[in-house]
Structure 1
């Protein structure tokens, strides 16, 4: 009996060690590129590709950041990116929560059928709708403007956001709705006073996804923007790459600066993010 117990404990420790080892390996796959970005941003061009690689810069080239931020009009790029992110964030949160409320708390004919049709749109690759979308915005006269990057957010910001919030709304007991109806509340009052306040974690998840997607969006600005004065940060980074060469030290410094807000936002909201993906079932 004691031998079996000892064997079981040994197997449990081995399984636990294997699990932690796998987590360390997977974490390293994500952390190493970020560490490489930071160390490269603090090196001169000749040190970046030294073999074997040097992980600690000697000396630290802090001037790379100043040179990178002054080489291009990053203040203009930052302003354009901030305009897009703020407006997209507001539109996505407002319309996706209202859409999810309609698909989860209000009974109407054909609701589930319409939702199923919308869900099928998630299966379409982005490349399939890229050209039709471009032709549509061009016909409306919105080419080389920020509107094609902002307006879609005011139609739910993507069916995935509505789906995510709907999954959370379905977990909220309907007793709240019935009690509110007894007190004479309307659907709008139920949404604003009950459902929306209770869905803070799920809304933060959607907001984080929306922020990261808008801040890092490269393909959208590349397709719809032509004037340098409208470029975003993601698109502006491409200017460090020429036809035959690239200013890797400045590119790494600028990239580290651009990615910093994403890291700060995620660290600030990670508690709500982890809580949200658990409650919405996003983890699977």
Structure 2
């Protein structure tokens, strides 16, 4: 019996006309989607004379960082940025709490677990606007209005995030947890040393969602913060039209300060985001 030792040549993929059309449509769609983002970035670097020139040009002839500096030197965007980062940091405390709740619903058996989980999920059907006034009255009673803690506290936990954690943590083998308990590990140690490291993909998803929620918070900070020094970036961006005359370059610079960090976080965690949603059972 003889064997053929000739090298196997890879098959050449033939590009059918339908596939070529699909690629062209995807390229055009991607370009149309990315155009507003690049327009924002390039407009933030334009002098005001170029921003209002007609016909408009995409690329700046004389790029400048004048308006980005103006945001942080003349306007209060430095303070708004610090406030937003504090709100995001407080939100990450809620991330740990939601992970603990998801772990409890996934791995612990206790009376009323199904009913309690259903009640948690039912809160997803309640609009935020419905609970805004009661939440404000509660925070006013405890003296947390016009504070960064009061801005972050109502969004500290989310039913959707608890659901995601629960769905993912059900995939963690019970044998691993039982082996740790037999070795004498406590529940806190099991959660911190085993469950959280094994939940890396869903933690990446929730990190991005928590960051976006805190970074883009607008309506609630506008309601709860009576002092302008407690505003977040999104509220400060909305105030640009009232603080200065119409200046497209300045407005685009403020929008870029808002958008670029979110884009950077998403690019860093995009691989884990797809993996986390896939393993959580969401399509």
* Structure 2 CA distance for partners of 1:19 and 1:169, relative to 1, 3 Å: farther
Kept in 2, the 8 Å contact 1:68–1:251? The answer is no
* Structure 2 CA distance for partners of 1:275 and 1:150, relative to 1, 3 Å: same
Match of 2:69 in 1: 66
* Structure 2 CA distance for partners of 1:26 and 1:135, relative to 1, 3 Å: farther
Instruction: Give me the whole-angstrom Cα distance separating, in 2, the residues matched to 1:139 and 1:28.
Output: 51
Instruction: Give me the whole-angstrom Cα distance separating, in 2, the residues matched to 1:15 and 1:173.
Output: 45
Q: Secondary structure at the match of 1:108?
A: coil
For normalisation by structure 2, the TM-score amounts to 0.85
Q: Secondary structure at the match of 1:242?
A: helix
Q: Which has the higher helix share?
A: 1
1:234 to 2:237 alignment? no
Match of 1:130 in 2: 132
Match of 2:178 in 1: 178
Match of 1:4 in 2: none
137-146 or 108-117, which deviates more: 137-146
Match of 1:117 in 2: 119
Kept in 1, the 8 Å contact 2:52–2:248? The answer is no
Q: After superposition, where does 1:183-202 map in structure 2 within 5 Å?
A: 183-202=183-202
1:263 to 2:266 alignment? no
91-100 or 187-196, which deviates more: 187-196
* Structure 2 CA distance for partners of 1:244 and 1:256, relative to 1, 3 Å: closer
Cα deviation code 1:54-88 (max 9, x no counterpart): 11122223322222322202222222112111121
Deviation at 1:22, TM superposition (A): 4.5
Instruction: Give me the whole-angstrom Cα distance separating, in 1, the residues matched to 2:159 and 2:35.
Output: 33
Instruction: Give me the whole-angstrom Cα distance separating, in 2, the residues matched to 1:246 and 1:236.
Output: 15
Deviation at 1:265, TM superposition (A): 2.1
**Uncovered stretches (5+) of structure 2, i.e. residues with no partner:** 1-12
Kept in 2, the 8 Å contact 1:81–1:232? The answer is yes
Match of 2:107 in 1: 105
Instruction: Give me the whole-angstrom Cα distance separating, in 2, the residues matched to 1:162 and 1:36.
Output: 37
Kept in 2, the 8 Å contact 1:69–1:254? The answer is no
Match of 2:163 in 1: 163
1:40 to 2:46 alignment? no
Instruction: Give me the whole-angstrom Cα distance separating, in 1, the residues matched to 2:55 and 2:171.
Output: 54
Instruction: Give me the whole-angstrom Cα distance separating, in 2, the residues matched to 1:42 and 1:51.
Output: 17
CA RMSD of aligned residues (A): 2.6
Instruction: Give me the whole-angstrom Cα distance separating, in 1, the residues matched to 2:29 and 2:61.
Output: 29
Kept in 2, the 8 Å contact 1:92–1:207? The answer is no
* Structure 2 CA distance for partners of 1:204 and 1:179, relative to 1, 3 Å: same
Instruction: Give me the whole-angstrom Cα distance separating, in 2, the residues matched to 1:61 and 1:185.
Output: 58
Match of 2:215 in 1: 215
In the comparison of the two structures, how many residue pairs are matched? 272
Kept in 2, the 8 Å contact 1:43–1:249? The answer is yes
* Structure 2 CA distance for partners of 1:177 and 1:122, relative to 1, 3 Å: same
Instruction: Give me the whole-angstrom Cα distance separating, in 2, the residues matched to 1:246 and 1:16.
Output: 46
* Structure 2 CA distance for partners of 1:20 and 1:114, relative to 1, 3 Å: farther
Kept in 1, the 8 Å contact 2:90–2:149? The answer is no
